[in-house]
Amino acid sequence: MAIYEQPKEDLLGRATQFPIRCVWVAATSEAVAGAVGATGGESAFGDADKREGRAAPSFRHAVGGRGPLPKNIFWGKRRDGGWSLFVDEDPVLHINGRQELRRLYFQGRKYAAASGRLEVLERVRYGGRLQHRRTVLAPDEQFRILSQVHAAVLDAIAAIESGRLRWGGGVQCDQADASRQLCGLIEALGESIPVAAVPNA
């Protein structure tokens, strides 16, 4: 079974390739009401962060509501600094230690990095045989897809920060630390997400 088809709570125990890993899950309506409150959103950053002067990234609450609320989000960080983000089953991003996109699953299609460009990976049938076909995206198409991916990820971050997703647990990280790390990594990627030379980690 592909990793993005597994329940995200199961990944906390099984995804040992990520020494640091955590999951957020959809909050109940009561939990959302308590988290959001009258002011429209309580940050996942805790009181200790406020006392020490740490602030949430500037894009917090700048986006959100453009798509359905995710049921769960899994984030895992590798020893080499690479990481993966699963927003439900789609999108799924795999980032290498140089903070470049190496693999992507988005809107039901698989993509892989190839010399700084994205290839769409398809299985097609020729003469009764199933074969793999790779097609390099045109620059404008690649920019369009990466912009949509970036927007979807920002929506997911907004759901975490607004309290619409609750902390589901973590390994080697707590809620405030995981939120801060993930927000910083997403902000550093930017809208024009850099693409790796090869799809391997």
pLDDT per residue as tens, the chain (201 positions): 344 445 555 677 778 899 999 999 997 644 434 433 322 333 444 444 444 554 444 433 334 445 688 999 999 999 999 999 999 999 999 999 999 999 999 999 999 999 999 999 998 888 888 888 999 999 999 999 999 999 999 999 999 999 999 999 999 999 999 999 999 999 999 988 999 999 997
**Cα(141)–Cα(143) distance, integer angstroms:** 5
Domain locations along the chain: 3-189
Residue 138: burial class (beta carbons within 10 Å; 0-12, 13-18, 19+): exposed
